[in-house]
Structure 1
Amino acid sequence: MILVTGGTGLVGSHLLHKLVSENKQVRAIYRRSHTLDRVKHVFSYYNKDHKVLYDKIEWIKADINDVPALEIAFKDIEYVYHCAAFVSFEPNKYYQLRNINIEGTANIVNLCISHHIKKLCYVSSIAAIGHESNPNQFITEETEWNPEEDNSVYAITKYGAEMEVWRGTQEGVPAVIVNPGIILGPGYWKGGSSGNLFRIIHKGLKYYTSGSSAYVDVWDVCNSMVKLMQSDIKNERFIIISENLAFNDFQKKVAKTLVVKPAKKEASAFLLELGWRLDWLTNKLFGKRRKLSKQMAKTVRSKTVYDNSKVKNALQFKFKSIDDSIENVSKFYLNDLKNN
């Protein structure tokens, strides 16, 4: 039997759809009952018989920091996809991020060890990979993480979670780590998911930034994970990205498919530096949630390029074009907007 953590998230819900569509025996954990509706909604995008598929999942209420509940979830499990994570770039959420991303992963790894799991797949992020000083130099799986850099709190905790997975491999659990870029997929239009970008662009974006990042379709993430788990590959990490793209190009493509005007003005370095300081001040004075951290202001100006050749060569994997991904996600977004 297969266990999926984070089954009510973007990657987890799509992964569950793939697994049950292939008649796999699947158990998934959830924390709050209302989040199960999101999974049902995602399933409805792809199948008329989505209720039949959804009912194949065995759900267990558990938190990745609730070890007794996890013990129940791990009964008779052979393979684990660990998708659960907390995504936030707010510096004051550091301890919450540590608790979920690092300590929660440590719990999953410990149970994988004690239950003699055959293989573990951990969903990390390109945020947990090091950077190159030359923006034209491709970042690979071998690019070293530099703890002395001013890394975001999210990146620090995802890197810490990877260390827990590597510890597990030393204690006998075969594992693969995937490092996706910005994951494009439908159904999650708020919060830390990329769907929020579509919502913001549709509402009207005033500024774009000069940086770039890497993007990937959610189905490519799920398909590569399953292929890696079914292969003989173990104890390796893989960058999972389709294309490197400037933020300005991305927002233009999304705006076009949503039939809205793209942002025309570039947010200057001065504006971003001023912005994160004002954001910090309003948080201190009025307790408002952070929207722009110092690290985020730097990231959105940074130009990075990632190399996806390792997974392409290992699996003979072909990625979906980002244009197709954007078109599909935009279609689902507009549909949901019309029906809500």
Structure 2
Amino acid sequence: MILVTGGTGLVGSHLLYFLLKDGNAVRAVHRSSSDLQLVKKVFSYYSEEPETLFKQIEWIEADITDIPALLDAFHGVTHVYHAAAYISFNPKHYYKLKKANIEGTANIVNLCLANQIQKLCYVSSVATLGKSLNNQLIDEETAWNPEEKNSVYAITKYGAEMEVWRGTQEGLDAVIVNPGVILGSGDWNSGSGIIIKLGARGIPFYTGGGIGLVDVQDVVRAMIDLMISGITNEKFVLVGHNVTYKDLLTSLSRKLSAKPPKKKLPRFILNIFASVDWFFSKLLGTKRKLLKATVKSLYKNSFYDSSKIKERLNFSFTPLEETLNRVVENYRKES
């Protein structure tokens, strides 16, 4: 029996499909507020009978911060994929992030140890890696620097990794994957889905930074391959392509028959918007729409080296054009 946390998220929902496709018995944890319909929608991209596949999953309602609720989820489990996480870059959400990402991961690790789980795969992020020096590509050996102005999300994901490494010191076999920005079909209102929607609108401006992208199917394939391999207690960067925001938005706009961006937006303008956004959020209690951390990332080139997984697993990433074509096609069908 395989246990998946975060099964209603982008990675988790695609992971569930491929685990079922391979004939595995799968149990998935979900919160009471989770949208299980998203899983069915993801299954529909692959199968004409998504409901039949969905019914093969043993769902258990439990929060990863609620140990008593998690106890039943681990009965009879041999392998665990931990993809659940709270995502926010807003500093006021630090305690929520800490509770879910660090304490929640500690709970998963402890239950893996208590139930003698054979192997754990933890979905982390490239946000836990250090900053590049002299424009070198960032890889698994690029050390985290606690003195940097790291986002609250990065801090808590790094703390979660420390819980996994603590588990390995206590006898747990584990692997960690560090994906870049994940491109995949599913939720168009969060994560990379927002980037797709921006491309469809044909925004006229672009920012000066660049990001590392990876196909959700590549993330899932790497996770499964690592779990069935003899590799333990190592981490792997999962980035298939390093691209600038301008090139990415231009490509998406053209595929979506929209106007590509032509003008580079000065950083100080977005910083002004972020400051105004902060002021009104304090004054009116509204949700922040543009954080300083987001502005910083939009003007920074964060490029990565995935040579390690390519060499260790003879792994190859999906061509970017193929990924974009598939995701855009699914977006067109639903928009």
Category of TM-score, reference length = shorter chain: over 0.9
Q: Higher mean Cα deviation, 271-280 or 211-220? A: 271-280
Post-superposition CA distance 1:189-231 (Å, at most 9, x none): 113x211211233234242110001000000000000000000
8 Å contact from structure 1 (residues 79, 120) kept in 2: yes
Q: TM-score w.r.t. structure 2 length?
A: 0.97
CA distance in 1, matches of 2:320, 2:89: 24
In 2: Cα distance, 1:33 partner to 1:284 partner: 27
Query: Residue in 1 aligned with 2:178?
Result: 179
Q: State the 1:177 CA deviation.
A: 0.3
Deviation sequence 1:125-184 (CA, Å, 0-9, x none): 1011111132x2011101010111111111111111111111111111100000000000
Measured in 2, the distance between the counterparts of 1:65 and 1:227 equals: 28
**Paired residues, what number?**
335
Of 184, 190, 193, the residue aligned with 1:195 is 193
Supply the distance in 2 between the matched residues of 1:258 and 1:275 (Cα, whole angstroms): 28
State the alpha-carbon separation in 2 of the partners of residues 235 and 34 from structure 1: 31
**More off after superposition, 306-315 vs 296-305:** 296-305
CA distance in 2 between partners of 1:286 and 1:249 (Å): 37
**1:3/1:215 Cα in 2 relative to 1: closer, same or farther (>3 Å)?**
same
State the 1:34 CA deviation.
5.8
Q: What is the Cα-based RMSD across aligned positions, in Å?
A: 1.2
The answer on whether the counterparts of 1:139 and 1:306 sit within 8 Å (CA) in structure 2 is: yes
After the TM superposition, which residues 1-340 of structure 1 pair with which residues of structure 2 at under 5 Å, given as runs? Answer: 1-32=1-32, 35-134=35-134, 136-191=135-190, 193-337=191-335
The verdict on how the C-alpha distance between 1:189 and 1:159 changes in structure 2, with shifts beyond 3 A counting, is same
Distance 1:117 1:333 in 2: 38
Equivalent position amino acid for 2:18 in 1: K
SS of structure 1 residue aligned to 2:100: helix
Name the amino acid aligned to 1:28: A
Between the aligned partners of 1:324 and 1:279, the Cα distance in structure 2 is 37
Task: Using the TM superposition, give the Cα deviation of residue 321 of structure 1 relative to its aligned residue in structure 2, in angstroms.
Answer: 1.1
8 Å contact kept, 1:213–1:305: yes
Secondary structure, counterpart of 2:35 in structure 1: helix
Is the 8 Å Cα contact of residues 207 and 265 (structure 1) preserved in structure 2? yes
Secondary structure class of the residue paired with 2:36: helix
| Aligned equivalents of 1:318, 1:233: Cα separation in 2 | 18
Paired residue type of 1:318: S
Q: Distance in 2 between matches of 1:208 and 1:56?
A: 44
Give the match's secondary structure for 1:132.
Answer: coil
TM-score by length of 1: 0.96
Contact persistence 1:90–1:291 (CA under 8 A) = no
**SS of aligned partner of 2:8:** coil
8 Å contact from structure 1 (residues 152, 296) kept in 2: no
- Cα offset, 1:275, TM superposition: 2.2
Quote the offset at 1:90 in angstroms. 1.5
Bigger mean CA offset, 161-170 vs 259-268: 259-268
**Amino acid in structure 2 at the alignment position of 1:142:** E
Return the alpha-carbon distance in structure 2 between the equivalents of residues 200 and 87 of structure 1: 20
Say if 1:91 and 1:293, in contact at 8 Å, map to a contact too: no
